[in-house]
Structure formats: C-alpha cells, structure tokens
Amino acid sequence: MAEQKAPGFETRAIHAGAAPDPTTGARVTPIYQTTSYVFDDVDHAASLFNLQTYGYIYSRLTNPTVSVLEERVANLEGGRGAVACASGHAAQMLAFFAFMEPGDEFLASTKLYGGSITQFGRSFKKFGWNVIFVDPDDPQNFKRALTPKCKAIFVESLANPGGVVTDLEAIAAIAKEAGIPLIVDNTMASPYLCRPIEWGATLVIHSTTKFLSGHGNSMGGIVVDSGKFDWSSSPKFRGLTDPEPAYHGLKFHETFGDLAFTVAGHALGLRDLGAAMAPLNAFLTITGIETLPLRMERHVANSEKVARFLEQHPAVGWVSYAGLESSPYRKLAKKYLPKGAGSVFTFGLKGGYEAGVKLVENVEIFSHLANIGDTRSLIIHPASTTHRQLSDEQKLAAGAGPDVVRVSIGLETADDLIADLDQALKKAA
Ligand SMILES: *Cc1c(COP(=O)(O)O)cnc(C)c1O
C-alpha cells in the first residue's frame, strides 16, 4: 500500500474531530442542546466522577458539540488537546488559573488587545496575579524582566491593533531557558496563517469570536495545549502536579501526562470558573472553521489592496500593516506569517483625533464597531473606544494614539472598500 500522506490543512479544517452522528447518521455535528447525560449505572457514574473513564456528566465540564470544536482547533494548531470557553477572556483566565497562585507574576507584551491589558493589569490583581508588561520588539526585554516568581510569558503572535509581529522563536527560547510556559494569543493570525506551537509555544489562546467563527455571530474562546511542557520540571506548577483533594488526591500531570492541562482545564478550570462555551456557539464556530482557509486568503488579498491604497492617500500619515514592504515587521512576517499578515491593521490620519472621529462616522460599507475578524469590514478609532480606559502612555505603547484608526478588512469587493474609505477620508479632511 502507498504510504498515507498526512491530510492537508483544508481537509482537517472540515473533518478533524467530527464524524457522522453514530445514532442518526447526521453528517453535520449536531447541537447537543442538553445540560446533562444519563449514566449507565452507579459504577459508570463513579468512574466518570473519578476521571477514570471518558464521557459526559454535565455541560459545564464537557459537551459533545463543544468537544468536536476542541478537537478541531487542537488539530489545526498542532496541539495535544484544547479547552473551549465562553469567550477569549474566559480562555485567558482559564489558562492562568491552571498554575497561578496569589503573589505569582507573569510577563506580558505591551502590544496586546486593549481588553487583555485591562484584564491582566486590573482584574488579575484581585487574585494576586501580578503582570509585568514588557516591550516585545526586543525579545531580550523578556529575559531582563524575568523574576523568580514569574510563571509564564504571554504575547500575541500578530498584535492587536498595531500590525506588530512577535518574534515567537526568540521569546520561546527565553521561556524555555527559564522553565516557564510561553502562552501565545493567536487570534489575529488564526492557525491558517501562524502556528505558534511550531515555534515553541506551550499554550495557544484564541478568541474564537473573531476569525475562527468568522461571521461576527458567536462569542467564544479556546486554549490549545501543545502537550509539550514538563509541568513536573519545577515546583512552580503545583496546580498540575500536587494531589487534588477534590479528585481523591489525583495528580494531573502524573496521571494524564501530555493531556494534563486539557483534563485539568475541564475538571478544575471549567468546573470552578464556570465559563463554558454554549453548544450553539460551538456549532457556529465549527461551521465557520470549515471555510477558514478560503476566508483568510481573501481577507489577506483584500487587506493588501486596501493597505496599498491607504499608503498613497494624501490624508493618511502612515499605515502599519506587516503585509506592506514598508513595514518594520516585514521580515518577521515573512517568517511567521508566510501566507499573509492577516486583515487587521492600523493607519494614522494627518488630521489626528478629530479626523478619526469623522472618518468612522462617514463610512458606509464599513461598520463602526468593536470587533474584528468578521466577513464584513469593520472600522474603529481605538483612542475613543477600545483603548479609552488606558492611560495616554499605555495607549501609545499599545499602538492606539489619537490619530490611529483600526480596520478589520472583510470579504466584500476590494474596490468597494477602497471607494468607501476614499469618500469618507474626503469628508474627514
Ligand atoms: C477579542 C480579543 C480577545 C478577547 O476575546 P473575547 O472573545 O472578546 O473575550 C483577546 N485577544 C485578542 C487578540 C482579541 O482580538
């Protein structure tokens, strides 16, 4: 027999994790709209509760529709397993919850989604989890900022909103030397454009709300575990190595090996944080992923056209898109994002804050809203919206100064998008 070639990304985007429904033959994964699952008998129930057998108890922990999504995204990212959550922020919370204790620290890039800066800097403080923000443009900054209490490094592969590409391989080497996991938010790239585990990431996070669901119709998040981190390598990761009293002293890493994070993410993280993904949202996200490769190709092609148009427009001071030859991140983009630098980028208006406000108020095809990764083209002025809670200094550090406009280029006809921006730029001038 001829040697079986591993299926390609497009094939896996449609088939990974799914099979026809065993009872009905339904070809599409059904929405298992149920809270709970009948036990065969008392022994079966006991083995489920003891984590000795695989199966379903209650949809806060696991649900068959959500499980298909988890397997599919884990497969596309090259991970061992995944935990789906109610939102991207819930996924971030769950990732850190696995090993952080009060008084612990972690390093995070300054170039992050505005909501993540707020979540890490303010709400995480209430748990005693302290973030140290680091400029990612020089990877050595992470090495310099490390402290003995640091338990992780968190970056975005392609940063929201500035068109910043992170040097994943260099930062992964620093995390590895320090014996701590590298967590990469891969929301803006999607696994079609970038696969952080191949560069050394331990955990990969997505807000599935964005490109994975892809149609602006369902909230969700996911943590993919590479399965490659040795949680027992130091006493730092007690949540995964110490006996767990709620499961008769079971030790997750010792018992489940490279599935330790995935099992604990459900059995402890979802059980106690409660931020489970709804089965309907999992269904919509599975459906979205089936066209992810096609959509990302068009997102990238449209973005390159729009970015080149903006770059030569007299009202525009600069365009920060890693897909342009002029970008300082061009070299990193070629390495980490060989199929394109995504479809979210920023540009600066010579008319500053006032021009930004007028532009978003005058577009017709673009929608003025706070999301990215939709089929529709979206526009926002971060300084007056998503990043308004940050200090002026944090705004600049996050690439969200007063003149900055962020677009998420959709799948419409590129010429229509260019014409729409052109007429709105005239009104904003
Ligand atoms: C939207 C977003 C998040 C947060 O995800 P939600 O689904 O809105 O909770 C995190 N990181 C990035 C890069 C995002 O774009």
Write the DSSP string, 73-114: HHHHHT-SEEEEESSHHHHHHHHHHTT--TT-EEEEESSS-H
In 268-372, the DSSP E strands lie at 316-320, 344-349, 367-368
Predicted local confidence at residue 98, as pLDDT: 97
3-state secondary structure of 348: strand
Confidence label for 305 from pLDDT (cuts 50, 70 and 90): very high
Which of 94, 155, 187 to probe ligand 1 with, by most ligand atoms within 8 A of CB? 187
Q: Ligand 1 centroid to 365 CA: how many Å?
A: 24
Q: For ligand 1, what atom is nearest to the CA of residue 156?
A: 13
Query: Is the distance from CB of 104 to CB of 77 less than 8 angstroms?
Result: no
Residue nearest to atom 7 of ligand 1 (CA): 88
Q: What per-residue confidence (pLDDT) applies to 125?
A: 97
State pLDDT tens for residues 246-270.
999 999 999 999 999 999 999 999 9
The answer to whether residue 320 scores a pLDDT higher than 60 is yes
| pLDDT tens digits, one per residue of 324-375 | 999 999 999 999 999 999 999 999 999 999 999 999 999 999 999 989 999 9
Q: Is 268 in the pocket of ligand 1 (CB under 6 A)?
A: no
Among candidate residues 170, 165, 110, 140, the one with its CA nearest the CA of residue 328: 165
Q: Is the pLDDT of residue 397 over 80?
A: no
Which atom number of ligand 1 is nearest to the Cα of residue 159? 13
Mutate to test the pocket of ligand 1, among 116, 156, 166 (most ligand atoms within 8 A of CB): 116
Are 307 and 282 within 8 A, CB to CB?
A: no
- Ligand 1 in reach of 85 Cβ (< 6 A): no
Segment 139-156, tens digit of pLDDT? 999 999 999 999 999 999
Report whether 258 contacts 242 (CB < 8 A).
Answer: no
Q: What is the per-residue pLDDT across 6-46, written as a single tens digit (0 to 9) for each? A: 899 999 999 999 999 999 999 999 999 999 999 999 999 99
pLDDT of 391: 86
Token reading at 204? 């990969």
Given a cut of 60, whether residue 419 has pLDDT beyond it is yes
**Residue nearest atom 6 in ligand 1 by C-alpha distance:** 88
CB 176 within 8 Å of CB 137: no
Structure letter (DSSP) for residue 291: T
Q: Is residue 65 over pLDDT 90?
A: yes
Query: What is the pLDDT at residue 2?
Result: 58
Domains of the chain: 9-288 (3.40.640.10), 292-428 (3.90.1150.10)
158 phi/psi in degrees, rounded to 5? -120, 120
Q: Is ligand 1 within 6 A of the CB of residue 206?
A: no
Q: What is the pTM of this model?
A: 0.96
Q: Rounded to an integer, what distance in angstroms lies between the CA atom of residue 394 and that of residue 383?
A: 11
The chain-wide mean pLDDT, for the chain, equals 95
**pLDDT of 152:** 98
Give DSSP secondary structure letters for 213-268. T-SS----EEEEE-S---GGGSGGGHHHHS-BGGGTTB-HHHHHGGGHHHHHIIII
Q: Is 105 in the pocket of ligand 1 (CB under 6 A)?
A: no
> Distances in Å between the alpha carbon of 52 and those of 111, 247, 262, 268, 270?
42, 10, 15, 15, 18
Section 231-254 average pLDDT: 96
Q: In this structure, which residue's CA is closest to atom 1 in ligand 1?
A: 207
Place of tokens 């001071």: 317
Question: Which residues are registered as beta bridge partners of 153?
Answer: 107, 182
What's the one-letter identity of residue 247? Y
Q: Which atom of ligand 1 is nearest to the CA of 372?
A: 15
